[in-house]
């Protein structure tokens, strides 16, 4: 089947509003969808993870070594976070969302900032106390490389890592 004819590509470079919206979506998110590539098969895989931020504002999660996404990230750290959840009302596809391409960096439990990360995470997620100390659980930072912001129909922006920081 041939690919149908195309409208002009509506994706624009980020402007100040797009940058502000992308940063707000990241700042507000407490969870997100994570896309990874499964080791062995190369199949894409999507799952849900908790989301927070480290002291420098980088997206951060606490993941189980038993989860497929964790094994995938250890084998291939390129990933994508989808942040910006629709509310219970209205058309979910008009709600802005950010597809954030990133590289996952596992935090060594022996690193100097690990205890601070843990304390800060548990302060925001007290229920995580029951599993945060299990030996397979790890903190993982997501270092953004680029992003696609969808602010609703025909409002699409491309963002660089510079657009996302600061």
- The whole-angstrom separation of Cα 14 and Cα 11 is 9
Query: Residue 22's closest CA among 79, 93, 101, 91?
Result: 101
Question: Residue 13 or residue 65: which is nearer to a copy of itself going by CB?
Answer: 65
Positions in the binding site for a copy of itself (CB under 8 A): 1, 3-7, 9-11, 30-31, 33-37, 42-50, 65-66, 68, 74, 78-82, 85-88, 91-93, 97, 99, 101, 106, 108-109, 127, 131, 134-136, 138, 148, 150, 153, 156
Question: Residue 23 or residue 71: which is nearer to a copy of itself going by CB?
Answer: 71
Question: Residue 122 or residue 148: which is nearer to a copy of itself going by CB?
Answer: 148
Least CB distance to a copy of itself at residue 148 (A): 6
Could you give phi then psi for residue 106, rounded to 5 degrees?
Answer: -70, 140
Question: Residue 57 or residue 65: which is nearer to a copy of itself going by CB?
Answer: 65
Q: What residues contact residue 112 under an 8 Å CB cut-off, 6+ apart?
A: none
- Asked if 24 contacts 96 with a C-beta cutoff of 8 angstroms, the reply is no
Helix (H) or strand (E) holding 164: helix 161-164
Least CB distance to a copy of itself at residue 16 (A): 23
Least CB distance to a copy of itself at residue 58 (A): 18
- In terms of DSSP H, where are the helices of 1-144? 16-28, 68-75, 114-124, 129-132
Least CB distance to a copy of itself at residue 114 (A): 12
């Amino acid at each position: 089947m041939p690919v149908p004819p195309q409208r002009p590509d509506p994706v624009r470079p980020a402007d100040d509003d797009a940058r502000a919206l992308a940063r707000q979506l990241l700042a507000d998110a407490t969870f997100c969808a994570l896309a990874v590539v499964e080791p062995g098969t190369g199949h894409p895989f999507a799952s849900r993870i908790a989301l927070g931020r480290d002291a420098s504002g980088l997206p951060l999660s606490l993941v189980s070594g038993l989860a497929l996404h964790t094994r995938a990230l250890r084998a291939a750290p390129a990933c994508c976070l989808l942040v910006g959840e629709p509310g219970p009302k209205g058309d979910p596809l008009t709600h802005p969302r950010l597809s954030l391409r990133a590289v996952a960096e596992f935090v060594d439990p022996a690193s100097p900032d690990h205890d601070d990360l843990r304390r800060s995470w548990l302060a925001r997620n007290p229920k995580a106390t029951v599993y945060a100390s299990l030996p397979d659980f790890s903190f993982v930072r997501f270092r953004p490389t680029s992003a696609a912001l969808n602010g609703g129909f025909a409002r699409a922006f491309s963002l660089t890592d510079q657009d996302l920081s600061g």
